[in-house]
Amino acid sequence: MKPTIEKDGQPVAELRRAVKRYGSVTALAGIDFAVRPGEVVALLGPNGAGKTTAVQLLLGLLRPSAGEARLFGRDPRSPGARMRTGTMLQVAKVPETLKVKEHVHLISSYYPHPLPGAEVIAAAGLAGLEDRLFGKLSGGQRQRVLFALALCGNPDLLFLDEPTVGLDVESRRAFWSVIGEKAAQGRSVLLTTHYLEEADALADRIVLITGGRIVAEGTPAEIKARAAGRKVRCRTSLPLEQIAALAGVHGARRDGELTELLAVDADPVIRDLLSRDSGLSALEVRGADLEEAFLALTGSEEKEEVAA
Amino acid sequence: MSARTISQERNLFRIHVLEAKYEFLKLLRLPAYIIPTLAFPLVFYMLFGVAMKHQGPGGAFDFPTYLIATYGAFGVMNAALFGLGVGLAVERGQGWLLFKRATPMPPLAPYLGKLAMCLLFGTIMILALFTLGATAGGVRLPLSTWLSLGAVQVAGALPFAACGLAVGYWAGPNSAPAIINLISLPAAFGSGMWFPIQMMPGFVRKIAQFLPPYHYAQLTLGRLGLDRGEPASRHVAVLVVFTAASMAFAWWGYRRDEGKTFG
């Protein structure tokens, strides 16, 4: 709906070899990352992965220790870049004694071409709550106010930092439909989340980040295929190298007497194991959580133990 | 298609007016601010100024007139300390200020808005206090004296707004009100804002020399000829140094804050 195409399709937001250190802690270990015009990108990773740090570098709220952050090809601190950006940060509390419409009115005034207040209210699903004080809203409604404040300036680029954290499943889904309908509309969006499901529901492209590094990148389908793994535990006499080399196995390790392996699809792997070791016992299969999926994808420690 | 042309035309004056307007509404709906700022000086004035109209320990000390200067000063000082200090500590501690910094907000807007509203609340309180003094207190002053007293009282918001700024950048959202009360109540008492400094023991009068509110109170009393006769330039100098020191602390706190937002 809105023309957001830049000259030469240059990125609307970009980190170049960006490093951020807090004292001895490295939050971002040199990442390259870009959001292209019209693209909805999810930065997906566990807590402490460096997602918020990446967003704050792009917003000019933090200075990189090394490398560079660009917003619309400029210094993120420049008002020109900020006027084209809308932001939803993890704010614990918004001043509680102002009404919803008053918050929208004030933040809109900062922008040269704001959306009409009524349109913002409707887009964020806040109709009927305009005259409610922020302090009287429920958790889900509060998140929608923060979303409304991000939309106020009719931005070309939306930052949504953990937009549904702390919401129950139902409010989260309701919120996704609001973001999905209204946020996209030709805008570029950078979303951070630690829910794979959320990234899947909203993003064109997922960037997996953990420990301050990008470990994988792809469409939601590609990432899910690799990340939605199963964890299989069993007692077997098969050598570890042989297990790790089986088709569909992403990593294997010994855990005491047991062997543990990660696989995208457990069933064929289990059939394969049983055909090779009829004495296999203590079989247990469960869904790998996101962090295990990350480990399967990065294959850090596990793979080193495998002599394959 | 080419890059969208960015017009940066905004009405900066309008932004600052709105910022101040919503700061006003925000505080007006906050009893924790309104009661200490507006109600305390008026209630205290009724209790101590009006009730003690005819009974000074020294005989005929003019309590209603003395206290109209010092309670007014006390109220303005609190309006500034709480408005800037607590307001900032809360909005900073809850991440609201960080969010606003990510918007194209003019960088000084929230500070100017808060300052303007402290001045406005201070003025409202002083007008109410003057009305109370002229009626129940029976205070009779020439119009020019009322005006110059009010002006000095309102101007006194500036050093304490600076102090509030420093507290706002160093205190947490929960500790800020306690810290400000801990500073302002004893300092106000020791500066002769609640009880005539002339009737305090000698050591209090010595300590008072080191308290910025004392110098502020003396300047307001000077408009009524009730000060202790020290040169006004000295009071002003102390308050200027206090303001500069507060601003330096606030700047230090701001820089420290910028560097430590964790991800």
Q: Identify the pLDDT of residue B259.
A: 63
Asked if pLDDT for residue B261 goes beyond 70, the answer is no
Interface contact flag, B96 A79, Cβ < 8 Å: no
Q: Which residue of B has its CA nearest to A77?
A: B102
Query: CA–CA distance from A116 to each of A76, A82, A145 (Å)?
Result: 26, 19, 15
Residues A184 and A72: their CA atoms lie apart, in Å, by 18
- The number of beta carbons lying within 10 Å of the beta carbon of residue B156 is 25
Interface mutation vs chain A, best among B28, B29, B99, most A CBs within 10 Å: B99
DSSP SS3 for A236? coil
Q: At B6, give phi and psi (nearest 5°).
A: -100, 110
Q: Are A33 and A196 in contact (CB under 8 A)?
A: no
Distance from CA of B113 to the nearest CA of A (A): 12
Residue of B18, B30, B90 with shortest CB distance to A109? B18
Q: Is residue A192 less than 8 Å (CB to CB) from chain B?
A: no
Q: How would residue A288 be classed by pLDDT, with cut points 50, 70 and 90? A: low
Residue-wise pLDDT tens digits, A67-77: 999 999 999 99
Identify whether A1 is part of a domain.
no
Asked if pLDDT for residue A27 goes beyond 50, the answer is yes
Query: CA–CA distance from A124 to each of A106, A149, A176, B7 (Å)?
Result: 16, 9, 11, 26
Q: Is residue A280 less than 8 Å (CB to CB) from chain B?
A: no
Interface contact flag, A79 B8, Cβ < 8 Å: yes
Q: Is residue A111 less than 8 Å (CB to CB) from chain B?
A: yes
Identify whether A104 is part of a domain.
yes
Residue-wise pLDDT tens digits, B139-185: 999 999 999 999 999 999 999 999 999 999 999 989 999 999 998 99
Instruction: Provide the β-strand partners of residue B20.
Output: none
Residue-wise pLDDT tens digits, B230-253: 999 999 999 999 999 999 999 999
| A154 and A67 together in one domain | yes
Q: Identify the pLDDT of residue A121.
A: 94
DSSP string across B179-191: HHHHHHHHHHHHT
Query: CA–CA distance from A261 to each of A230, A275, A308, B130 (Å)?
Result: 8, 17, 14, 81
Residues A159 and A73: their CA atoms lie apart, in Å, by 16
Residue of A62, A93, A153 with shortest CB distance to B96? A93
Q: Is residue A134 less than 8 Å (CB to CB) from chain B?
A: no
Q: Identify the pLDDT of residue B70.
A: 95
| A147 and A258 together in one domain | no
Residue of B4, B22, B99 with shortest CB distance to A98? B22
Q: Is residue A47 less than 8 Å (CB to CB) from chain B?
A: no
Q: Which residue has the higher pLDDT, A296 or A252?
A: A252
Which of A66, A99, A62, A74 has its CA nearest to residue A14?
Answer: A74
Looking at every residue in chain B, the average pLDDT score rounds to 89
Asked if pLDDT for residue A39 goes beyond 50, the answer is yes
Interface contact flag, B4 A3, Cβ < 8 Å: yes
Identify whether A2 is part of a domain.
no
Q: Identify the pLDDT of residue A58.
A: 95
Which of A255, A251, A263 has its CA nearest to residue A288?
Answer: A263
Q: Identify the pLDDT of residue A176.
A: 87
Q: Kind and range of the H or E element at A14?
A: strand A13-22
Residue-wise pLDDT tens digits, B105-122: 998 999 999 999 999 999
Residues A142 and A134: their CA atoms lie apart, in Å, by 7
Q: How would residue A260 be classed by pLDDT, with cut points 50, 70 and 90? A: confident
Q: What angle do CA B110, B100, B14 make, to 5 degrees?
A: 50
Q: Which two tokens stand for residue B7?
A: 């017009």
Residues B198 and B225: their CA atoms lie apart, in Å, by 13
Q: At A5, give phi and psi (nearest 5°).
A: -70, 125
| A221 and A265 together in one domain | no
DSSP string across B28-79: HT-HHHHIIIIIHHHHHIIIIIITTTT-BTTBS--HHHHHHHHHHHHHHHHH
- Residues 6..25 of A with a Cβ closer than 8 Å to B: which? 6-7, 20, 22
| A146 and A240 together in one domain | no
Q: How would residue A302 be classed by pLDDT, with cut points 50, 70 and 90? A: very low
- Overall average pLDDT of the B14-38 stretch: 92
DSSP string across A160-176: EESTTTT--HHHHHHHH
Of the candidates A168, A192, A225, which is a domain's last residue? A225
Q: Which residue of B has its CA nearest to A76?
A: B102
Residue of B3, B8, B90 with shortest CB distance to A83? B8
Q: Are A202 and A291 in contact (CB under 8 A)?
A: no
| A91 and A236 together in one domain | no
Q: Kind and range of the H or E element at A280?
A: none
Residue-wise pLDDT tens digits, A108-133: 999 999 999 999 999 888 999 999 99
Find the farthest-apart pair of alpha carbons in chain B and give their distance in angstroms, rounded. 87
Q: How would residue A303 be classed by pLDDT, with cut points 50, 70 and 90? A: very low
Name residues whose C-beta falls within 8 Å of residue B263's C-beta, 6 or more positions apart in sequence.
Answer: A20, A27, A28, A50, A51, A52, A53, A54, A55, A56, A62
Q: Which domain holds residue A248?
A: 229-305
Query: A231: left (phi > 0), else alpha (psi -120 to 50), else beta?
Result: beta
Asked if pLDDT for residue A8 goes beyond 70, the answer is no
Q: Which two tokens stand for residue B83?
A: 């408005």
Residue-wise pLDDT tens digits, A176-233: 887 877 666 778 999 999 888 888 889 999 999 988 999 888 888 877 766 657 788 8
Q: What ipTM, to 2 d.p.?
A: 0.87
Instruction: Provide the β-strand partners of residue B219.
Output: none
**How many folded domains does chain A comprise?**
2
- Of A45-54, A279-288, B43-52, B159-168, the one with minimum mean pLDDT is A279-288
Q: Identify the pLDDT of residue A145.
A: 94
Residues B94 and B172: their CA atoms lie apart, in Å, by 9
Q: Is residue A78 less than 8 Å (CB to CB) from chain B?
A: no
- Of A159-168, B12-21, B24-33, the one with minimum mean pLDDT is A159-168
| A221 and A157 together in one domain | yes
Q: Identify the pLDDT of residue B63.
A: 86
| A106 and A153 together in one domain | yes
Of the candidates A225, A240, A270, which is a domain's last residue? A225
Q: Identify the pLDDT of residue B257.
A: 77
Q: Identify the pLDDT of residue A22.
A: 84
Q: At A144, which CATH number?
A: 3.40.50.300
What number of CA atoms fall less than 13 Å from residue B152's CA on the CB side? Answer: 24
Q: At A289, which CATH number?
A: 3.30.70
Of the candidates A191, A207, A225, which is a domain's last residue? A225
Query: CA–CA distance from A162 to each of A1, A81, A146, A195, A252 (Å)?
Result: 25, 22, 11, 9, 32
DSSP SS3 for A10? coil
Q: Identify the pLDDT of residue A228.
A: 59
Looking at every residue in chain A, the average pLDDT score rounds to 85
Query: A282: left (phi > 0), else alpha (psi -120 to 50), else beta?
Result: left
| A158 and A273 together in one domain | no
Under 8 Å CB pairs connecting chains A and B tally to: 112
